[in-house]
Structure 1
Amino acid sequence: MDTLLPELRRLSPDNFTSHIVETSLKVACDRATEHLQNQESENTEMEEEVPKKKRKKASKEGKYSEGHIKKCHEYSLNVSRFVLNNLEDFAWDPYANHILRSVLKSLSGITLLPGEKPKVNLLKETEKPKGIPPHLTKMDYKTVPDEFKEMVVEFAKRMSSWPQFKEMPFKNLTSGMLQVLLYAVKNCDKNLTRDLIKQLLNESLAPDDWVNNVDDEKKDVKGNEGDDDETVGDGDEKKKEVNTTNLPPVFKQESAVRLLEAALFVAKKKMYTQIYARCFINRLGQLATMPMLNFTVQRLIDNCQIKEEFEPMFDELADKFPALLSCGNTGVLLALGKACLRVQARQAQLVQKLESAFNCTDPSQQKYFSVCCLRLLPLNRIDVSKLVSDYFIHIHGSVILQTILDFQRPAKAVNSLLELAPEELVVIFSDAKGCHVADALCRGQCVGVKARDKLVWRLKGYYQKLALSQYGSRAFEQIFETCSPEQRVKIMTEISDKSNLLNSTQYGRVIATKLDVATFKQSQKQWEETWKNKKNKE
């Protein structure tokens, strides 16, 4: 810290040393605020597992001395003040810009941004930690001092007062910086977050003068809008600006689109409604079928929490299901399904529209609904005779089917699954993406007891095969947990008859150990008593 601080002006714009400054700042901020996390976890009784792990880690490594913590605190503030004083230069520099982003993240307590993956030390053989999914609607922040938050607010006020602020969303470098700024300000000043989004909407993303001239643009769109498309942003993104002449300026540049997604994430209910009205309303059908913009529609739906707002969105996209399937933008269907479950609306309509898109509305074809859903293909494109040998499962299709099984009336999905042949069920449950369908069937609150019983009897004779595979053994465990005592005994009888075969794979051995097959073979009564006691303890 002593060595870097006097040389910041020379080090920050350099392509190598800028990374060192960035990392030193992150480490200093972590050490300066670590004791605040520990205090919070000790003061809060109803704390999650994460702070407990932090406490263990702190106790192992030992706390830093007060002098060191104070020095890290001062270093963080000194670097931040230096960056603030040189904000105009740093914002447009490709290397110093990332130091600016790190300052905002560290001061506001951001650990990971949505869609960001944590850095892994390749020299250590550890499990790769998972990042935050981009479709997440919540973000955790660390506890930081008020002094840090005030500095973030100062950054935001300085940037928003620049005359070139309205051009910043349309450049990749400055758009990324504004995205981090929005996430940072959310934890520091909610009113300022609202003001920033409003300013971005009014000046850049969807200005009022554009809205007033929508009808006029349709007449002379070739003369006016075509020129704008070429001047806004970089030339290498010109190919992504096709067919956006009747859309607000935000949708003509990918950098601006990503900023809009960040705004949706941090916006409160009233501001979210304004973004929806200014940018999306009556355009969702067009946006959802476009390669770049369908992700923004997904973020819009993911962040919708109000039933009255979601219903018009659903109605606008309801006729686009076949088009979404054909163009491969199936993430929109998934976002709609999750929103139907979240706000408890339009669930029956979603199933009906999917049936229509899959061409399986006839009573004789409804038994193939789950197959079409898992593969996300219309029935006329699926060879029904080769379901077992040729069984590709789409990740979005699997999650959509799981979501439908959690609906209030999942009868169509449940019945279509139970009408499949046992061999087909085994293929689904033995797949990495399909095994979670068994979880939804067994845990779904609205899936009837009779349906679960039918599933258990349907798989009779195939439990051995399920238990031998990696993902099939997962499904096997879920099904076994929901069985009645009589059904468990019959399943145990089936798998214990060929226990040697069960021990032939590592996954089968795990099942044999967990269910104590050896004891069952020796004495069924003893096994039943042991299992009953185990369940009572749980």
Structure 2
Amino acid sequence: MSMDTFNKDMLAEHKQASNYTKNRNKKRKSTNKRFLQNAKGFGRKNSFGRGAELEQDEYNYFLEILETLNGLTGEDVTEERSTMANNVYEQIRNKEIKTSSNQLSSRVLDNLIGFTDEETFQRVMTVFVENFRVMCCDNFASHVLQKTLFVAVLRAAGEKHPEKDASIGASKKHKSDYSRELEYNLTIEFSSAHRKACGKFLKKVAKFLLNNLEEFVWNSSGNYVIRQCILNLAGIAEVKVGKENTSEAEKITVPDKWFKLINEFCSRLLNWPQFPDLPYKEFTSALLQSILISLNRAEDKFQLKLIGEKLLNDSFLLKSTELEQTEEIMKLPKVFHTDSSIRLLEILILVAEPEFFKDHLYKRLFQGNALVLSQTRATNFCIQKILDHVSDKHILEQMFSELGTGLEEILQLGHTGVVVSLAKACSRLTCQQGKFIKLLFEALHCSDAGGEKLLASVLQLMPLEKQTTTTTQIHIHGSIVVQNILDFNKPIKLVSAILETKNSHLAKIFTDPKGSFIANAFIDSKFVGEKSRDKLIRHLEGCYMDLALSSHGSRVLELLYEAAGSSPKETIVRELSERIAQLNSKPWGAIVNRKLRVEVYRRNPSQWKSVLKSPGEHLVISDTVTRGKKRK
């Protein structure tokens, strides 16, 4: 896949990811507020927290600290947290373990440990080393231990991070607590002795966990500490284990010798008689996922292949004996029967080397099973992962022959992600493109349709006969499919459908957060001719103001303006200049006015034309498009 194609896909999905992040942050704030309210309620009932019981004055003290933490804002937040952290840890001197074992106080300690000074942090590490077993097995203290381990890794590895790492989180107007924690521990000047002490603490934790692996693997708290330790040893600061995109985790440069400790964990587990059962339990599956992610980060191809073959031969390929072999899905290998093993398989697909991917994972698990797997809710994500990472055209052709016959049923089941991944694979490997278009249109019953109806079917991934006169929201996957088809070698039928769509309806599509990126694909595709691009720009005449007055539409308008010749450029600006007051009524319109110099044109068209011909004009428009992408 070319970087341009990759960027188009990422741009199309970026808005959805951005909304998810905003919602997640909002949910986190709401959760913190609710936790504080519940804690106050327990205090009024003389119940001073779950876990270890605190004295009333201690409980109230931590309530006040937590409330203060939640209310910290401004530029000096990090400095305030550091002062507060040292004071709080001084208050709990000689009571660190008990305080860590209370739900309320453990949250406070967890939030502050990353901002302590050298002396305080070393004292805490010393206490925790003497009480590893208690802390690993406690539901609340284990969280404080995990954060302490994480901070120790950052400080031990910090000397390997020059000034460039000071930019971590610095570009954000509103830094998260996590960003501040990273920045503080990676960039502050800790002494060499302190960094060595942090490294020794990490090794002691790892050795203790290795020596007690058989006990802690089956304990929910201990298991989580093991996973955190393995990820940190690989230099992975944070990762949502089991999620598809592990590349979003923050990467920390760590000493190569730390990777040897990961190998010890791996070797110990591989020799366990219970190893074949590990993928089928939630906690143990998550542990194996962490190991795979860490080995991939360490670029340890030998160990990855070793554990991959072990999983495949001793665990994944077993037949299920729990249910009668009546349903077709139950005839498949055991790995496809539980959510935990499926999540592990997805991670293995992500990290597998091409040879292992082709000769083992695909041939032994997926060949001949693609259609069945794509039709069940749990396993269709595995098919998506295979399609997203296939690099062999022969494999894609085999999968296409299986999936193509059931494309309509896949859509009916709502497994649209499979269709998206198939479209991306056809685009990336430049094969089966014509067949994909033909089968998709047949599945949507729109092969004989054209223009607006065909485009609507694909955008909504809905059969033609189910279309209504009312406007239906664009399906995110439908938009991405359209973008990928526009990057096919012969997208002529879809190009014609777009150009035949009524301009007012097309403008609505381009002002939609999901539909707007279709304009990017149309303009940027090397398989959409220059005449078609010119037709699109002219086709939208009369709708330029509608585009300019919306966030997403204004970005499309700027994109069209840059792609247009001198005459279409003037047509766009002339139309906007006729309603200059309306254009300035919205912030996005005001930006378009400034960037395209609409006001200049309204006052003096000749002056505007002379500016257009000047060398600096190209730079202005380039800045405009960049600004539009940043806004996304």
Which interval holds the TM-score relative to the shorter structure? 0.7 to 0.9
> Which of 314, 332, 342 is the aligned partner of 1:203?
314
| Equivalence for 1:228 | 322
> Which of 448, 463, 473 is the aligned partner of 1:392?
473
| Shift in Å, 1:66 | 1.5
* Separation (CA, whole Å) in 2 of partners of 1:6 and 1:287: 50
Q: Secondary structure at the match of 1:372?
A: helix
Does residue 470 (structure 1) correspond to residue 551 (structure 2)? The answer is: yes
Per the normalisation by structure 1, the TM-score is 0.84
| Equivalence for 1:142 | 252
| Shift in Å, 1:466 | 1.2
* Separation (CA, whole Å) in 2 of partners of 1:135 and 1:281: 24
Matched AA of 1:9: R
| Equivalence for 1:69 | 195
> Which of 381, 400, 415 is the aligned partner of 1:295?
381
Moved more, 9-18 or 136-145: 136-145
Structure 1 segment 122-201 matched on structure 2, within 5 A: 134=244, 141-188=251-298, 189-201=300-312
Q: Secondary structure at the match of 2:457?
A: helix
* Separation (CA, whole Å) in 1 of partners of 2:445 and 2:599: 49
For residues 161-201 of structure 1, the C-alpha deviation after alignment (integer angstroms, 9 at most, x for no partner) is: 11111111010110011111111122332101101010011
Does residue 284 (structure 1) correspond to residue 410 (structure 2)? The answer is: no
Alignment root-mean-square deviation, CA: 2.5
Does residue 405 (structure 1) correspond to residue 486 (structure 2)? The answer is: yes
For residues 233-254 of structure 1, the C-alpha deviation after alignment (integer angstroms, 9 at most, x for no partner) is: xxxxxxxx96522110101111
Does residue 533 (structure 1) correspond to residue 615 (structure 2)? The answer is: yes
Moved more, 285-294 or 467-476: 467-476
- Whether contact under 8 Å (1:406, 1:444) holds in the other structure is yes
> Which of 312, 316, 323 is the aligned partner of 2:402?
316
Structure 1 segment 2-17 matched on structure 2, within 5 A: 2-17=126-141
Does residue 266 (structure 1) correspond to residue 347 (structure 2)? The answer is: no
| Shift in Å, 1:516 | 2.4
Does residue 488 (structure 1) correspond to residue 582 (structure 2)? The answer is: no
| Equivalence for 1:453 | 534
Matched AA of 2:344: L
| Shift in Å, 1:35 | 2.5
| Equivalence for 2:224 | 98
> Which of 136, 143, 162 is the aligned partner of 1:38?
162
* Separation (CA, whole Å) in 1 of partners of 2:515 and 2:524: 15
For residues 72-124 of structure 1, the C-alpha deviation after alignment (integer angstroms, 9 at most, x for no partner) is: 111111111111111111111001111100111000122344677xxxxxxxx
Change (3 A) 1:470 1:51: closer
| Shift in Å, 1:57 | 5.6
| Equivalence for 1:524 | 605
* Separation (CA, whole Å) in 1 of partners of 2:400 and 2:247: 19
Does residue 347 (structure 1) correspond to residue 471 (structure 2)? The answer is: no
- Whether contact under 8 Å (2:155, 2:186) holds in the other structure is no
Q: Secondary structure at the match of 1:493?
A: helix
* Separation (CA, whole Å) in 1 of partners of 2:141 and 2:248: 33
- Whether contact under 8 Å (2:510, 2:516) holds in the other structure is yes
Matched AA of 1:83: L
- Whether contact under 8 Å (1:341, 1:403) holds in the other structure is yes
- Whether contact under 8 Å (1:358, 1:378) holds in the other structure is yes
* Separation (CA, whole Å) in 1 of partners of 2:247 and 2:400: 19
| Equivalence for 1:84 | 210
| Shift in Å, 1:135 | 5.4
- Whether contact under 8 Å (1:156, 1:185) holds in the other structure is no
- Whether contact under 8 Å (1:137, 1:265) holds in the other structure is no
Matched AA of 1:85: N
Q: Secondary structure at the match of 1:302?
A: helix
* Separation (CA, whole Å) in 2 of partners of 1:372 and 1:535: 40
For residues 34-73 of structure 1, the C-alpha deviation after alignment (integer angstroms, 9 at most, x for no partner) is: 222339x69xxxxxx979979x968995432222221211
Does residue 328 (structure 1) correspond to residue 414 (structure 2)? The answer is: yes
- Whether contact under 8 Å (1:359, 1:379) holds in the other structure is yes
| Shift in Å, 1:369 | 2.5
Percent identity, aligned pairs only? 32
Does residue 376 (structure 1) correspond to residue 486 (structure 2)? The answer is: no
Does residue 499 (structure 1) correspond to residue 580 (structure 2)? The answer is: yes
Per the normalisation by structure 2, the TM-score is 0.72
Q: Secondary structure at the match of 1:184?
A: helix
Matched AA of 2:460: R
Q: Secondary structure at the match of 2:405?
A: helix
Change (3 A) 1:60 1:229: closer
> Which of 244, 260, 282 is the aligned partner of 2:329?
244
* Separation (CA, whole Å) in 1 of partners of 2:150 and 2:610: 56
For residues 105-149 of structure 1, the C-alpha deviation after alignment (integer angstroms, 9 at most, x for no partner) is: 000122344677xxxxxxxxxxxxxxxx72578987432112210
Structure 2 spans left out of the alignment, 5+ residues: 1-124, 172-178, 623-632
- Whether contact under 8 Å (1:137, 1:303) holds in the other structure is no
| Equivalence for 1:511 | 592
| Shift in Å, 1:459 | 0.7
- Whether contact under 8 Å (2:451, 2:498) holds in the other structure is no
Q: Secondary structure at the match of 1:228?
A: coil
Q: Secondary structure at the match of 1:286?
A: helix
Matched AA of 1:379: L
* Separation (CA, whole Å) in 1 of partners of 2:387 and 2:436: 14
* Separation (CA, whole Å) in 2 of partners of 1:403 and 1:295: 19
| Shift in Å, 1:271 | 1.0
Change (3 A) 1:171 1:20: same
* Separation (CA, whole Å) in 2 of partners of 1:6 and 1:447: 67
- Whether contact under 8 Å (1:135, 1:299) holds in the other structure is no
Change (3 A) 1:255 1:115: closer
* Separation (CA, whole Å) in 1 of partners of 2:322 and 2:133: 37
| Shift in Å, 1:442 | 1.3
> Which of 499, 503, 508 is the aligned partner of 1:427?
508
For residues 461-493 of structure 1, the C-alpha deviation after alignment (integer angstroms, 9 at most, x for no partner) is: 110111112222122121112111211111101
Does residue 257 (structure 1) correspond to residue 346 (structure 2)? The answer is: no
